[in-house]
Amino acid sequence: MKVLTKTSELREALAQRPRGTVGLVPTMGALHNGHRSLIERCRRECDTVVVTDFVNPTQFNDKNDLRNYPRTLESDCLLAEAAGADILFAPTVEEVYPEPDNRTFPLGGVGEVMEGASRPGHFNGVCQVVSRLFVMTNPDRAYFGEKDFQQIAVIKAMVRLEGFKIQIVECPIVREADGLALSSRNRLLDAPHRTAAPHIFEVLSAAQQKVGELSPSRLEAWVTGEIERNPLLKVVYFNIVDSLSMQRVGAWDDATAVQGCITVQAGAIRLIDNIKLK
C-alpha cells in the first residue's frame, strides 16, 4: 500500500495503476472495523482501492470537537493495508484547500433537518471535501456507511448537483458486541458514558417492535423518554423520517421506507445512530 500526502502523487499513482475501476473510501481516520468493512467491500468490488484519511476542518462547527478529534495515522495505515487498500491518501489541510473554499451547496430539504439543523455548516463542509476528493481520485464508486444515514442523502444530492458520474455505495452499520455503533468518537467516551451508550441501540431495537402500535410522533417521544431514563444520555433529536427525503413522517404508510435517526449527547461526546423502522 502506498501512503501519499500530495495530490500530485495521488494523481501519478492512479495514472500508473492498471486499467479498471477505482473505488474511493473517504474517512477522517481513527479507523475502526466500521471503516474496515467499507474498505473490504471496496476491495471486493473495485480494481483499485483508495482510502482517504483527512480530518476536514470545514465540516466542524465546533472548534473543540475539531481539536479533540482522534488522529491515529500509524494504526490507520496498518488497518487500511490489512483491509486491502492500494493507496492511503493523508493530505494536509493546505493540500486539500490551497485557497479557502467558499462554495455553498443548495442541498434542499435533505440538508436542512437533523444534523443539518443542529450542526450549521456541517453538511456544506462535507460536500466541499467530498467533491474535492471526487475530483482528485475520479472514482467509479465511492463507499459510505449507513451509520451516517443523512450524510448519504446529502452526498447523493451533491453528486446530482455537480453532475458526478460516481456510484454511491451504501454499507451497513457495524456495531460493538453490545450494540453501540462503532465510531471514531467512541474512544473519547469516559467509562460511565461508555457503559451507558449501548442503551441507545437497545431502545432503537425496542422501537422497531412498536411500529404501527404507536404513531410516529408518539414513538419519537417514547424513544426519547426511554433513552433519557439513563441520566448520562441526553437526546438531541430523534426523528422518524422518510428514508429518501429525510423529512418526518406523520403516519406509517406501506409505500414509504422509514428510518429512525438519533443523536445523543453522552457527556461531551455526540453519538449518532439510526435504525430501519419500515
The residue among 161 and 168 lying less far from ligand AMP, judged by its C-beta, is: 168
Q: Which residue, 148 or 226, has its beta carbon nearer to ligand AMP?
A: 148
Q: Which residues contact 244 (CB under 8 A, 6 or more apart)?
A: 153, 257
Helix (H, G, I), strand (E, B) or coil at 51: strand
Q: Name residues whose C-beta falls within 8 Å of residue 14's C-beta, 6 or more positions apart in sequence.
A: 22, 48, 50, 87, 137, 138
First to last CA, the chain: 41
From the list 9-17, 174-182, 190-198, 237-245, the region that binds ligand AMP by CB under 6 A is: 174-182
By CB under 6 A, tell whether 174 contacts ligand AMP. Answer: yes
Does 243 sit near ligand AMP (CB under 6 A)? no
CA distance 230 to 105: 38
β-partners of residue 143 are 169
Q: Measured from the CB of residue 141, what is the shortest distance to ligand AMP in angstroms? A: 13
Nearer to ligand AMP, 50 or 249 (CB): 50
Selected range binding ligand AMP among 4-12, 68-76, 104-112, 180-188, rule: CB under 6 A: 180-188
The yes or no reply on residue 168 touching ligand AMP (CB under 6 A) is no
Euclidean distance between CA atoms 105 and 26, whole angstroms:
19
180 binds ligand AMP (CB under 6 A): no
> Which DSSP category does 144 fall into?
E
Strands 269-276 and 2-4: unpaired
Cα gap 59→131, rounded to integer Å: 13
Query: CB-wise, 34 or 116, nearer to ligand AMP?
Result: 34
Q: Write down the least CB distance from residue 23 to ligand AMP, Å.
A: 13
In the region spanning residues 102 to 141, those forming contacts with ligand AMP, defined by CB under 6 A, are: none
Nearest to 137 by CA among 230, 274, 13, 18: 13
Among residues 113 and 180, whose Cβ is nearest to ligand AMP?
A: 180
Q: Does 66 interact with ligand AMP (rule: CB under 6 A)?
A: no
Tell me the β-bridge partners of 175. 181
Least distance (Å) from ligand AMP to the CB of residue 180?
A: 9
Asked if residue 181 binds ligand AMP (CB under 6 A), the reply is yes
Choosing from 168, 173, 211, 214, the residue that interacts with ligand AMP (CB under 6 A) is 173
| Residue 147 · residue 170 · CB < 8 Å | no
Looking at the annotation, which residues are catalytic?
Answer: 35
Contact set with ligand AMP (CB under 6 A):
27-28, 34-35, 37-38, 144-145, 147-148, 171, 173-174, 181-184
